[in-house]
Structure 1
Amino acid sequence: MKEEKPALKNIKSIALYIIIIFGYFLLTQVPMLLIAVLSPIFNKGSVIVNTILFITWIVLVGLIIFVTWRYYHKKGDKEKLKIGFKDIGIALGYYVGMLLITMVMTMLMQATYGADTSENQAVLEAMFASGKNIWFVGGMSLTVGVVAPILEELVFRGIPSVTLFKNSPKWFIMFMTSIVFSSVHLSENIISFVMYALMGAMLCHAYFRRGNIIDSMLVHFFNNAIVAVFMFLTFITQK
């Protein structure tokens, strides 16, 4: 039997990794999709039924995180998940940098297009505003504030770095993953696209600092959790 040519083997490997990464990306959409599907049931269900459904949702989300994390850990180096106060402080510094990027780009969008927020942010705010029960808003808050930072860092930074771009230079990985990251965040204009690409680059740089995916997850958490908590508290105070 003839040995497969290296070029053809590489093409097949690249195609396979693209399919796998896309599959895991679809998994990242499941938590929010599920909570949206369950929302009408939460409106009519009893406390017991709603509690069971919510716990079931949490278990399913935990399973998705476990499967995604296990694949990343299997393909990559067995990195240590240690993090200290210094790392938390550095993560906060990255978050401040992302906040400055958001502020500058938002002002540019306002001046250029008259839009004071990105389409992605507007969609999230609309989804939170449509919430009619604590279960839906609670699930949304957990998804945006906790689940998304974990899954998105694994899918957009971690898995591509240890599979598709394993032998690529870091600048190339940062560029490619940031472009993809921005592409899925509903950028409706070039300024919004650049904003999310720069945020993706900051998250990628945080990951590369120690080669520890926890670092970029933490930065992502700071960025998302503040918004999620604000939205949750807004819902609570309005009820």
Structure 2
Amino acid sequence: MKNAVAKIKLYGWRAVKLCLLFGLIELPQFALSLPKLLLKYVNGPIVYILTWMIFVGGYVAVTFILFTYLQRRHPERRIIWKPKGKEINTIIIGFIVLMAAKIIIGSFMTQQTANDAAIEKLFRISVNTSLMMVFMTAIAAPIVEELVFRGFLMDYFFTDQPVFAILLSGLVFGSIHSSTNLISWVMYVVMGIILAATYNKEKNLAASISVHFLNNLLPSVVMLLSSMQQLLK
């Protein structure tokens, strides 16, 4: 009985910490609204410089906190290193599988997901915001999200049962992304599962970060070009 209570307390506290980490990785996004607020009081160029400093600095700080905390949990091993050899093959295979899954599941969708719609809307605010969104979606998000969803989540729960850890990571990843319907939710869950499986195979966060980066890069560039075409008319 005591062991059961102790486990409930342990995993309950880990769930709370995970929720706090989810909130932490969202904080730098508030910088996206700064130009609109500050332009009323401060000169234009200074506002944009300040916004970028807070935006990039926020993500650097969050990444440092997450990485340091995770490394302290496992001082006996590295959690991220430069991929090479079979790790690169795993990244390529993971990306191909991810793209195939998105194409197959996407063929059943009749409308854009709420998450993609929200991102596209932000891209169309201004040229500066579009550039910030590319940095966030293609660079910052893959790093901080992999640290949390793969690094921490899979380290907190089902540590001795990798299949369950992968499934849980995918379910949570899919659930925190805005889904329009069941099909879009399934798409994000499958994406999370593929990223989790990539990490589990190599135990190197650089592998899942790389797949996540490749997945986000092309849509970000396409949205940037599309928004630039409209904003610069």
Root-mean-square deviation (Å) = 2.0
Sequence identity (%): 26
Q: Distance in 2 between matches of 1:42 and 1:92?
A: 43
Cα 1:227–1:13, aligned 2, differ >3 Å: closer, same or farther?
same
Q: Which residue of 2 aligns with 1:172?
A: 164
Give ranges in structure 2 of 5+ residues lacking alignment.
Answer: none
Is 2:39–2:47's contact at 8 Å kept on the other side of the alignment? no
Cα 1:179–1:209, aligned 2, differ >3 Å: closer, same or farther?
same
Deviations 1:211-237 (A, max 9, x none): 111100110000011111222233334
**TM-score, length of structure 1 as denominator length:** 0.87
Cα 1:43–1:88, aligned 2, differ >3 Å: closer, same or farther?
farther
Is 1:42–1:136's contact at 8 Å kept on the other side of the alignment? no
Give ranges in structure 1 of 5+ residues lacking alignment.
Answer: none
Cα 1:184–1:237, aligned 2, differ >3 Å: closer, same or farther?
same
Shift of 1:42: 6.5
Q: Which residue of 2 aligns with 1:136?
A: 129
Q: Which residue of 2 aligns with 1:81?
A: 81
3-state SS of paired residue (2:158):
coil
Cα 1:172–1:231, aligned 2, differ >3 Å: closer, same or farther?
same
Shift of 1:43: 5.3
Is 1:25–1:155's contact at 8 Å kept on the other side of the alignment? yes
By relative contact order (CA 8 Å, sep 6+), the higher-ranking structure is: 1
Q: Equivalences for 1:108-187 in 2 at 5 Å? A: 108-110=108-110, 115=111, 117-129=112-124, 131-132=125-126, 134-166=127-159, 168-187=160-179
Is 2:35–2:51's contact at 8 Å kept on the other side of the alignment? no
**TM-score, length of structure 2 as denominator length:** 0.89
Shift of 1:188: 2.4
3-state SS of paired residue (1:109):
coil
Is 2:154–2:165's contact at 8 Å kept on the other side of the alignment? yes
Q: Equivalences for 1:1-239 in 2 at 5 Å? A: 5-35=2-32, 37-41=33-37, 45-76=43-74, 78-79=77-78, 81-84=81-84, 87-110=87-110, 115=111, 117-129=112-124, 131-132=125-126, 134-166=127-159, 168-238=160-230, 239=232
Is 1:88–1:218's contact at 8 Å kept on the other side of the alignment? no
Q: Distance in 2 between matches of 1:86 and 1:233?
A: 34
Q: Distance in 1 between matches of 2:37 and 2:88?
A: 39
Is 1:98–1:202's contact at 8 Å kept on the other side of the alignment? yes
Cα 1:190–1:56, aligned 2, differ >3 Å: closer, same or farther?
closer
- Give 2:106's aligned amino acid: T
3-state SS of paired residue (2:108):
helix
